[in-house]
Chains A and B, each alone.
Chain A
Amino acid sequence: MDVLLKTFSKMLTAASPIHQVNRSLIILKRRHPVQLQKANSKNKPILKGRHFIYDVVEYSELKKQENMNVILTEYVEGVGHKGQQVSVKPNFAYERLLLPKLAIYASPENLELMKNNLYQTKDDEKPSSVEALLTVKYLKKTVVSVSMNKDEPWTIEPWHIRVSLRKMRVYVLSDDSIELPEKPISGPDLTLEGKSFIIYITVNKKERVAVECVLHHWSTKVSDRLPNKNFYLKEPIPIFPEQIELLKTIRKNNKS
Chain B
Amino acid sequence: MESRLANGLKLLYIPKKTRISSGIGNRLPEAYKKFYKEWRHQTPEPIYYQPKQGKWTRDEKTGAVIPVQNIPIPLKYPKTMNSGIWGGEAVIQGFKQGGGKYKSRVPYFWTPTLKKTVVYSEVLNKYMSTTVTQRGFDLINKSYGLDHYLLKTSACNLKTVLTLKLKRKILMALRDKTLYPDNFVKQQEVYDKYKHYLADYTHDEIEWYGLTFNEALLKLQDIDDISEVKKEPLKVKYRAELIEELNNSDEIKEEKQSWLNKLNPFANK
Contact = CB atoms under 8 A, between A and B. Distances in A.
Binding between chains A and B = yes
Interface string A63-104: 000001000000000000000000000110111001100000
B78 A5 contact: yes
Contacts of A94: 137, 140-141
Contacts of B76: 1
Q: Is the interface of B mostly helix, strand, loop or mixed?
A: mixed
A4 B109 contact: yes
Interface stretch (B110-118, B180-188, B243-251): B110-118
B48 A28 contact: yes
Interface in B34-51: 47-50
Contacts of A4: 78, 109
Contacts of A15: none
A25 B47 contact: yes
Contacts of B145: 105
A54 interface: yes
B49 A28 contact: yes
B50 to A, nearest CB: 6
Interface stretch (A31-39, A139-147, A189-197, A232-240): A31-39
Contacts of A5: 78, 80, 91, 111
A133 B77 CA distance: 49
Contacts of A23: 110-113
B211 to A, nearest CB: 23
Interface of A: 1-2, 4-5, 8, 22-31, 34, 36-37, 39, 42, 45, 47, 49, 52-54, 57, 61, 68, 90-91, 93-95, 98-99, 105, 107, 109-110
Given A34-B69, A54-B73, A68-B141, 18 more contacts: A22-B113, A25-B133, A28-B94, A28-B110, A29-B50, A39-B67, A47-B71, A47-B74, A53-B105, A54-B94, A61-B134, A91-B137, A94-B141, A95-B117, A99-B118, A99-B120, A99-B127, A105-B145
